[in-house]
Structure 1
Amino acid sequence: MTVALTEDEVDKKVVDGDGTDVGTVAEVRHGTAHVSADEETVERMQARLPQGGTDGNTYAVHDESVAEITDDRIVLDART
């Protein structure tokens, strides 16, 4: 199932399939969440996600990489 990323996701935590915190949504542009995290996490996530990154402080998450959106977090697909 594909979920739609909207501006409502700004400031939500982003966690991987294991529940590990991998950042916070800084902004959503054109259906892509730009997630801020520490430098090491950004580098790791840019390598894991097919859409790559946007700059040194954020990485991009497209809707196809999201398994679930709740009131307070975005859960990435376990395959990501």
Structure 2
Amino acid sequence: MSESTSETTEAVAATKTAVSKATVTKATLITTQTVSSAESSMTQAQATVVQASRRHGNCDAEQNKRKLQGQK
């Protein structure tokens, strides 16, 4: 009877360990995906800012060019 109890205890411990490892793995995966997604969003935001900055710079350049040519 004690062998059966011991085997059951070992099986329960092994199951708890497996569930714990699976939970940690899932949490790590979710965290990695979240960080990756955030980095991607940041990169996209930076690209948008750069594009807007270039458009603004081009607009300023056109306005300055017109001023030099005496146009409005």
Query: Is the structural similarity TM-score above 0.5?
Result: no
More helix by share: 2
More strand by share: 1
- Normalising by structure 2, report the TM-score: 0.17
